[in-house]
């Protein structure tokens, strides 16, 4: 055992409950993770002792809250190993981070005839903003396909790049297939053509150690709530040279330097991209979540989750009629599957009644579902607080689904 699982589970109050008279088994971690007591306490601590609007006041509380907020930015910077704190922008989630880049990058760099490259395995949040920006600006969105294991083909990607390609926007880890994309190789390839790369890390940071300088990616986005932190928090990492050049995304307080009747000058990084009062309580929780994860060790988390994935894949492979979607060698800890002709929604309903939370449906990846010619899958996504025994319970629940519906 890499860490003490009982001790870890005791940190998560929500996992202690029974649902339908059974202990809750939570396998919907790719949608949102549960929060340790340390995160919940950090929010309480903030409201009981530090609550105030930040960056504006000269009084004690305002300065204390501001210092804590900027300390959180330093924590995030260290967590993803960004070069500067000014490269860390707080947002309300991966979706907002991705919309910010698509909007500002589009305005600054995209002209009619230009091309953006993305992939068929993207979450709608890293697909629709690019699609709509391309439609508005007369550009073309080019979509890279996958092989039968749910992997991207780098030779095909290489053939798609040309002098019109302005950006590659790809997911680090697929929320449906679990595939961990070879993002370092992709960045190297793209940079040979002077093309910047945005990585959607919504499913990356919670499973893998991420070093944005080592990856050399130009943008990296993620949500706090998938990282054991509160809802409504997120991060955009961007290389300073790009963030300096991009126009602001939202306008208002905080992001200005001086406002005149006929024009406005904008604040320095990162504040240029943080208009209005931010989610300070959420950022306090995000900081506590990162401190918690760093104490466990992202390498340890990745190793333990790899064991969970191996165990689940072996056990579920023995179920007759199961078909996996996403069988890459390089996979994060989730399994997407269908059982015979059973609709994923029906399977999910029965599994739920056995106390197990799995996700069913298209997982916000309709282009991928269309290409696979399926309506959706059942997805069980594991976190470091899950156990092999819980996976055994899922296998039993699937046997019950088959009994009832086959």
Q: For ligand PLP, give the closer residue by CB, 233 or 393.
A: 233
- How far is Cα 46 from Cα 12, in angstroms, rounded to an integer? 20
Q: For ligand PLP, give the closer residue by CB, 348 or 355.
A: 348
Interface positions with ligand PLP (CB under 6 A): 93-95, 123, 125-126, 171, 175, 200, 202-203, 223, 225, 364
Q: For ligand PLP, give the closer residue by CB, 225 or 272.
A: 225
Residue 128: CB partners within 8 Å, gap ≥ 6? none
Q: For ligand PLP, give the closer residue by CB, 356 or 365.
A: 365
Kindly state the tokens that stand for 117: 């490259």
> Which residue is listed with tokens 């190789």?
185
Q: How many CB atoms are closer than 10 A to CB 366?
A: 14
Q: For ligand PLP, give the closer residue by CB, 8 or 236.
A: 236
Q: Which residues are registered as beta bridge partners of 69?
A: none
Q: For ligand PLP, give the closer residue by CB, 28 or 50.
A: 28
CB of 16 vs ligand PLP, minimal distance in Å: 25
Name the packing angle between helices 298-317 and 388-405 (round to 10°).
30
217 is catalytic: no
Q: For ligand PLP, give the closer residue by CB, 77 or 171.
A: 171
Kindly state the tokens that stand for 19: 């649902």
Torsion of CA 139, 145, 151, 157, to 10 degrees: -50
- How far is Cα 225 from Cα 73, in angstroms, rounded to an integer? 16
CB of 116 vs ligand PLP, minimal distance in Å: 16
- Residue 119 phi/psi, 5-degree rounding, is -130, 165
Rg for the chain, CA atoms, rounded = 22
CB of 124 vs ligand PLP, minimal distance in Å: 8
- How far is Cα 291 from Cα 76, in angstroms, rounded to an integer? 9
Torsion of CA 216, 217, 223, 226, to 10 degrees: -60
- How far is Cα 69 from Cα 225, in angstroms, rounded to an integer? 17
- How far is Cα 116 from Cα 101, in angstroms, rounded to an integer? 13
Active-site entry in 86, 134, 221, 364: 364
Q: Helix (H) and strand (E) counts for the chain? A: 14, 17
CB of 322 vs ligand PLP, minimal distance in Å: 23
First-to-last C-alpha distance (Å) of the chain: 38
CB of 147 vs ligand PLP, minimal distance in Å: 19
Residue 70: CB partners within 8 Å, gap ≥ 6? 85
- How far is Cα 379 from Cα 31, in angstroms, rounded to an integer? 10
- How far is Cα 212 from Cα 188, in angstroms, rounded to an integer? 13
Residue 10: CB partners within 8 Å, gap ≥ 6? 16
Q: Which residues are registered as beta bridge partners of 195?
A: none
Q: For ligand PLP, give the closer residue by CB, 64 or 92.
A: 92
Active site residues: 364
């Amino acid at each position: 055992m890499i860490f003490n699982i009982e001790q870890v589970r005791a940190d998560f109050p929500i996992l202690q409950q029974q649902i339908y008279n059974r202990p809750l088994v939570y396998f919907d971690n790719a949608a949102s993770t549960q929060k340790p007591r340390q995160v919940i306490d950090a929010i309480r601590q903030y409201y009981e002792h530090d609550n105030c609007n930040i960056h504006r006041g000269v009084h004690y509380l305002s300065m204390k809250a501001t210092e804590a907020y900027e300390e959180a930015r330093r924590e995030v910077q260290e967590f993803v190993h960004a070069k500067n704190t000014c490269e860390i922008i707080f947002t309300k989630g991966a979706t907002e981070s991705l919309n910010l880049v698509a909007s500002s990058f589009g305005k600054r760099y995209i002209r009619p005839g230009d091309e953006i490259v993305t992939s068929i395995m993207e979450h709608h949040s890293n697909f629709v903003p690019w699609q709509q920006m391309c439609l508005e600006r007369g550009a073309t969105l080019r979509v890279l396909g996958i092989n039968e294991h749910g992997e991207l083909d780098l030779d095909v990607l290489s053939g798609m790049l040309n002098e019109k390609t302005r950006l590659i926007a790809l997911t680090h880890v697929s929320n449906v297939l679990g595939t961990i994309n070879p993002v370092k190789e992709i960045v190297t390839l793209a940079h040979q053509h002077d093309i910047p790369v945005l990585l959607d890390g919504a499913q990356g940071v919670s499973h893998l150690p991420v070093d944005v300088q080592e990856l050399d990616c130009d943008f990296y986005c993620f949500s706090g709530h998938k990282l054991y932190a509160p809802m409504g928090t997120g991060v955009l990492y961007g290389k300073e040279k790009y963030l300096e050049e991009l126009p602001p995304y939202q306008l208002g307080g905080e992001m200005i330097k001086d406002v005149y009747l006929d024009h406005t000058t904008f604040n320095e990084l990162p504040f240029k991209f943080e208009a209005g009062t931010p989610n300070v309580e959420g950022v306090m929780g995000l900081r506590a979540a990162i401190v918690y994860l760093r104490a466990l060790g992202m390498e340890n988390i990745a190793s333990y989750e790899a064991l969970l994935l191996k165990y689940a894949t072996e056990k579920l492979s023995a179920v007759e009629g199961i078909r996996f979607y996403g069988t890459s060698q390089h996979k994060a800890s989730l399994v997407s599957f269908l059982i015979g002709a059973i609709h994923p929604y029906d399977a999910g309903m029965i599994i739920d009644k056995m106390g197990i939370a799995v996700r069913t449906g298209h997982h916000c990846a309709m282009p991928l579902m269309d290409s696979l010619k399926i309506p959706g899958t059942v997805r069980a996504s594991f976190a470091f607080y899950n156990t092999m025994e819980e996976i055994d319970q899922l296998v039993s629940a699937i046997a019950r689904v088959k009994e009832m519906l086959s």
